[in-house]
Amino acid sequence: MQSKNLFYISRNYKFSRNAASKPKMDCETVLTKMGFKNLGFKQSNHPSSAIGAVISFFGIMKGLIRLPNRSVFCMQYPLSKFFNLVVFFASLKKCTLIIIVHDVKFLMGKRKDAAGEIRKFNKADYLIVHNESMKKWFEENACKARMVTNDIFDYIHTMTKEIHQNDTTPTEVVFAGGLGKEKSEFLYSADNLGHKNYVLKLYGGGFNKEAVDSSSSILSYQGVFSPDKVISEISGSFGLVWNGNSIDGCSGEFGKYLQYNNPHKTSLYLLCGLPVIIWKKAAMAKFIEKENLGLTIDSLSDLESTLNQLSNEDYSKIIKNVKIARTKIAEGHYLKAAMEKVLQLHFDNT
């Protein structure tokens, strides 16, 4: 579905080791491949927040001035400093507005007013949201935009790493992301489970070494790496998607958010060839079960018995499915498919 009337505006994405900007940068890569044209400055990664904000402002202004009337314009959310400005120009020029939703601040616990945030989303003609759970929340909160779901976030990467079936004993379970107590407090209770058949390999910043007894702990800290380098560093049998302060379920604001969002670390694990272990009530769990890409559990207390029950044959089947999914994720298949649905809806109505 080709059109010369598709546009977006790139900006500065501050470089960081926690991969916070990578999903948005990858979205721009997919949009470009689909024929969307960047009207702003070239994508940049200046590390200074102040200089980055200036680059983004002038790049966005350049793009908005150049934005043709009645065109199709795609933006990504959140865009806190510039959201109202961008929406104003898009409306002024009678553009069809598509918003790719990365995070919903109310669902993250960062905003108290759901209606206020929904008013922002109602400025869009179309939303690309994470999954059916998030879509249902939008519908229940009077969102009027037409919505398409994106099964999983892509993780654009030129794959060189081969997948090998990892049958080490004990099983190596990878956890990548923020390791501080605010987001991942459950890690520091893992030794209380008394399990013997797996270890947790940790990748990321904020690990509190003083909180664990390194001589007996199953936590094995591997270090912090950039979003692209971590792919070659990660090794294990599974990747764990879990948040919050409890081993018995995902609790707290970060834990609750798993019931609505598609965590980017899920994509990272699959790209690295790791089947996923995820909380059964997480929104992403439905996709993992449907595609047979890993295991879903109610509590980390269940992990030892779940791993014991998994046969080599079942694990091999999961690995085959992971190989298929990782190719799609690396090439931007999932956003492309979602955007094609949006454009089909749009062109069918014009």
3-14 tens-digit pLDDT? 679 999 999 988
Task: Evaluate if residue 103 carries a pLDDT over 80.
Answer: yes
Is 206 within the bounds of a domain? yes
**Could you tell me the sign of the dihedral formed by the alpha carbons of 154, 227, 179, 170, in that order?**
positive
**What is the model's pLDDT at position 301?**
94
Give the model's confidence band at 39: pLDDT under 50 very low, under 70 low, under 90 confident, else very high.
very high
The whole-angstrom separation of Cα 97 and Cα 95 is 6
Residues 56 and 188 in one domain: no
Q: In which band, very low, low, confident or very high, does the pLDDT at 144 lie, cut at 50, 70 and 90?
A: very high
Q: Which residues contact 180 (CB under 8 A, 6 or more apart)?
A: 205, 206, 207, 208
The answer to whether residue 1 scores a pLDDT higher than 60 is: no
59 and 103 co-located in one domain: yes
Do 184 and 69 lie in one domain? The reply is no
Q: What distance in Å separates the CA atoms of residue 248 and residue 297, rounded to the nearest whole number?
A: 10
In terms of domains, do 119 and 260 share one? no
Any domain includes 159:
no
Q: Which pLDDT score, from 0 to 100, does residue 349 have? A: 82
Range of the domain at 182: 171-329
Residues 157/231, Cβ–Cβ less than 8 Å: yes
Tell me how far CA of residue 256 lies from CA of 6, 107, 281, 300, in angstroms. Answer: 36, 8, 9, 16
Task: Determine, yes or no, domain membership for 163.
Answer: no
- Residue 343's Cβ-count burial label (10 Å; 0-12, 13-18, 19+) is buried
Provide the token pair at 6: 């598709």
**CATH number of the domain to which 26 belongs:** 3.40.50.2000
Mean pLDDT value across the chain: 92
Mean pLDDT in residue range 327-342: 97
Same domain assignment for residues 308 and 341: no
- In Å, how far are 179, 270, 279, 297 from 201, measured between CA atoms? 11, 16, 18, 19
Least confident piece of the model among 139-148, 209-218, 257-266, 335-344? 209-218
Q: Are residues 14 and 95 in the same domain?
A: yes
Same domain assignment for residues 196 and 124: no
CA distances from 89 to 62, 86, 308, 309 (A): 12, 5, 57, 57
Closest CA to 179 of 200, 197, 152: 200
Residue 165 resides in a domain:
no
Pairing of strands 72-77, 96-101: parallel
Asked if residue 162 belongs to a domain, the reply is no
Question: Comparing 80 with 33, which gets the higher pLDDT?
Answer: 33
237 and 264 together in one domain: yes
Enter the tokens of residue 302. Answer: 């269940």
Measure the CA–CA gap between 114 and 281, rounded to whole angstroms. Answer: 22
For residues 150 and 129, give the distance between their C-alpha atoms in angstroms, rounded to a whole number: 6
Q: How far apart are CA 191 and CA 204, in angstroms?
A: 19
Q: Is residue 255 part of a domain?
A: yes
pLDDT of 249-299, one tens digit each? 888 888 889 999 999 999 999 999 999 999 999 999 999 999 999 999 999
- pLDDT of amino acid 3: 66
164 within a domain of the structure (yes/no) = no
Q: What is the pLDDT, as a whole number, of residue 160? A: 66
The total of structural domains in the chain comes to 2
DSSP string, 54-68: HHHHHHHHHHHHHPP
CA atoms within 13 A of residue 88's CA, in its CB half-sphere: 7
How many C-beta atoms lie closer than 10 Å to residue 245's C-beta? 18
Instruction: Give the chain's radius of gyration (CA, Å).
Output: 21
Tokens at residue 312, please?
A: 């080599």
Residue 190 tokens read as 């893992």
pTM above 0.75, yes or no: yes
User: Exposed, middle or buried, 86 (CB in 10 Å: 0-12/13-18/19+)?
Assistant: buried
Please check whether residues 339 and 315 belong to one and the same domain: no
Mark whether 131 and 188 lie in a shared domain: no
Residues 158, 273, 255, 147, Cα dihedral to 10°:
60
Residues 266, 120 within the same domain: no
Separation in Å, CA 27 to CA 10, 32, 122, 151, 289? 10, 9, 21, 14, 25
Looking at the structure, tell me whether residues 244 and 126 fall in a common domain.
Answer: no
Domain assignment present for 88: yes
